[in-house]
Amino acid sequence: MTITSFMLAAAAAAPAFDAEAATQAYLSTLQGAARVKSDAYFEGGYWLPLWGALVAIVSYWLMLRFRWSAKWSAWAGRVTKRRWLQPGLYSIPFALVGALITLPWTIYVSYVREHQYGLSNQSFAEWAKELGIATGVGLVVGVIFFIILYAVIRKSPKRWWLWGTGAVTALLAVMIMLAPLFIEPLFNKYTPMQAGPVRDEILRIAHEQKIPANDVYVVDASKQTKRISANVAGLGPTIRIALNDNLLNRSNIHGIKAVMGHEMGHYKLYHIQKLLAYLAVMALIGFAIVAWAAPRILARHGEQWGVREVADPASAPLLQGLLTVLLVPAGILFNSIIRHHESEADAFGLNAAQEPDGFAMTAMQLSEYRKIEPAAWEEMLFYDHPSGRTRVKMAMDWKAAHLGELPPDQRAPMVMTPDKPAE
């Protein structure tokens, strides 16, 4: 028998596999109260960006209306005569007061709502401590950002939007590079994974994909949340492969390999670099609109606000408010960009890990807090990841197309769960 005829005979003998039926079998595992809860949580989140933008705009309006912003700018001018430093000083009360005004909203979204749906493991004290750390990091970044932005505005009043885009993009790139080393460890402990089959399989896939990493780290995310997650973070020398302990404890080796293959896809497909490019374009458009609108608004209202010009740090609430308005529609576009990247990483991960049922199982776990079967318009407008149904269907279509490449015990239709990996 020739090799070709042998392969044809093997394919004919393989069990029939219906990708749509297999998809429905997975989807049927999320039913009843659990599905209602998942849908309610995710649908409630549709309006959070809009309400969050309105809360932020109100805070900026208060700063201008009661001339707090002008007073902070004057205070910074009294503290130092170095004009380049004044915006950095101004940013401190600007950030602190803004955080205080929006604190009730922050508490509701990040603490109360997460506990209502059983997704958080933190006490209020633990949550507040991390909020304090995040606020401190934000203050440092804000000082740097304000110094750079207003230096650009002073040096080039007519083209600051162009040079400002370059400065912001460079700052974002530095933040992405430094975050794994200096920021993320402020919130979580990263521990090298112990030697064993799981670590060996992750590194095997990484090395097959020529990812320059020889360690895998476990993040103690269970102290904060019940969500599963992983990433290949950093740029250049700061690259790091990590998975959280929820994924390690709630999944099996099939699901872990599927997730890590997906995350490696983001790295290999240069999604971080592409997102930086997209953000740069969006910043360019946003800054250009703000540069056009802000002087016109100040000409009409600047005197009553005590704001002389765009180059005055006191203009920050106006600039931020305009950007916040623009971010609402931009967020929909950005969701589509990220969703496309996630779909690309899904396809990459299926090819790299060859774990379609592990991938489908993980998609079902993620659907514990993501509406699993949205309408097409919902997925287009509100999803920054493919829906659970989309992901399970992709995995089952991949399985149907590559059935002969899988181990014999994984070719038949099955519903894989963490405690029943191959049934």
With beta carbons less than 8 A apart as the criterion, state whether 259 and 364 touch: no
Q: How many domains does the chain have?
A: 2
Residues 273 and 256 in one domain: no
Q: Domain for residue 421, yes or no?
A: no
- Do 168 and 315 belong together in one domain? yes
- 110 with 69, same domain? yes
Pair (139, 288) in one structural domain? yes
Dig out the tokens for 5 from the structure.
Answer: 């005829």
The pLDDT, as a whole number, for residue 12 is 41
89 in the same domain as 39? yes
Residue 106 domain flag: yes
Tokens of 153: 């505005």
Q: Indicate whether 201 belongs to any domain.
A: yes
Low pLDDT (below 70) residues in the chain: 1-15, 235-236, 420-423
Let me know whether 212 and 227 are in one domain.
yes
Q: Where are the alpha helices (DSSP H) in 122-195?
A: 124-155, 160-178
Residue 251 located in a structural domain: yes
Largest interatomic CA distance in the chain: 91
- Measure the CA–CA gap between 167 and 169, rounded to whole angstroms: 5
Query: 252, 268, 284 — which closes off a domain?
Result: 268
Instruction: Indicate whether 5 belongs to any domain.
Output: no
Q: Residue 262 is part of a domain; what is its CATH number?
A: 3.30.2010.10
Of 287, 292, 297, give the one whose Cα is nearest residue 330: 287
Q: What is the pLDDT of residue 421?
A: 53
**Based on C-alpha coordinates, what's the Rg of the chain?**
25
Q: Helix, strand or coil for residue 159?
A: coil
Burial of 81 (0-12, 13-18, 19+ CB in 10 A): exposed
| Chain CA centroid to CA 403, Å | 33
Strand, coil or helix: 111:
helix
Q: How far apart, in whole angstroms, are the C-alpha atoms of residue 208 and residue 124?
A: 44
**How much is the pLDDT for 422?**
45
For residue 100, being part of any structural domain is answered with yes
The residues, any chain, with a CB within 8 Å of residue 108's CB and separated by 6 or more, are none
254 and 278 part of one domain: no
Q: Is residue 349 part of a domain?
A: yes
* Domain termination residue (choose one: 226, 252, 268): 268
Lookup: tokens for 47 = 């309006």
| Residue 14 covered by a domain | no
Quick one: 44 and 170 in the same domain?
A: yes
pLDDT at 220: 96
What is the residue range of 83's domain? 19-187+269-410
Query: Residue 208 is which amino acid?
Result: E
Whether residue 77 sits in one domain with residue 102: yes
Q: How far apart are CA 69 and CA 301, in angstroms?
A: 14
| 215 plus 297 within the same structural domain | no
Same domain, 29 and 139: yes
Phi, psi of 231 (to 5 degrees): -165, 160
Domain boundary among 203, 235, 268: 268
Q: Which two tokens stand for residue 422?
A: 């191959």
Identify whether residues 314 and 180 lie together within a single domain: yes
